Amino acid sequence: MATLHSDAALSVPAAKPALRHSALVRVTHWIITLCFFALLLSGIEIVISHPRFYWGETGTVMDKPLFQLHIPSSRKTVPTGYNYVLPDANGWSRALHFEAAWIAVLTGLLYLIYGFVSRHFRKDLLPSSADFSWRELWTAFVKPFRFRRATAAESSSYNLLQRLTYLFVIFVLFPLAIWSGLAMSLAFASAFPWSVTLLGGQQSARTIHFFVSLALTLFLVVHVLMVFLSGFWSRTAAMITGRNGARKERT
């Protein structure tokens, strides 16, 4: 009887992997990812057209820049110290930048609405008092730099560093990128001049937009690196199928 009982226990199907990401989170994640790469590519082309940054309301080739990138420009009128100019791709890059930006904004708004309605932000991202214990602080700020693969338990939820980083990106960097981007629009500046004034002027908005873009790019690089260290295929599969690669342990 004991043998039959053991065989029966072994024949019990394993539990399905736990749902890690909802369908809406997965869809918005990949849409924003594609938009970000389009924004990055087109943004580089836009910067090349005038790789000089100013602070204030106006900035021209006759003004002293706050700083400049030491790269050739795609415009002959921009002084860069080089004796040649790059091919001008400012037309298609601006069109792609604006289109990708609006798709990202609308997708981000959908994600925000879902995050508040489903309590996704509160359940998965908002830190609790338990996240500030010594054990959790060690897991969040020390273990990632040991460059080892995450365990199944660590992969099932976000640690404190991840929670704070995602909250900062979602509620600080992305809104600031949108705000500074809109502030460079003449139509938006005419309708809401106060929004441009708060940033210090249109050229200040461009400079802020540049540094926010650098911060988001750094976040992307670190994010991809952490995905590789945690298990690239399992993490990618989780963001596609919504389920963890590791199955729950039976008790």
What pLDDT is stored for residue 144 in this prediction?
Answer: 56
Considering just the CA atoms, what is the radius of gyration of the chain in Å?
Answer: 24
DSSP calls for 139-180: HHHTGGGG--PPPHHHHTS--HHHHHHHHHIIIIIHHHHHHH
CA 103/CA 223 separation, integer angstroms: 22
**pTM of the complete model:** 0.80
What pLDDT is stored for residue 157 in this prediction?
Answer: 63
Residues 159, 160, 161, 163: is their CA dihedral positive or negative?
A: positive
Q: Which domains does the chain have, with CATH numbers?
A: 20-241 (1.20.950.20)
Categorize the per-residue pLDDT at 248 as very low, low, confident or very high, splitting at 50, 70 and 90: very low
pLDDT single digits (tens) 25-69 = 899 999 999 999 999 999 999 999 999 999 999 888 889 999 999
Residues 183, 187, 191, 193: is their CA dihedral positive or negative?
A: positive
Alpha helices in 200-241 (DSSP H): 202-241
pLDDT single digits (tens) 141-167 = 555 555 555 555 555 567 778 888 999
Other beta carbons within 10 angstroms of residue 176's beta carbon come to 18
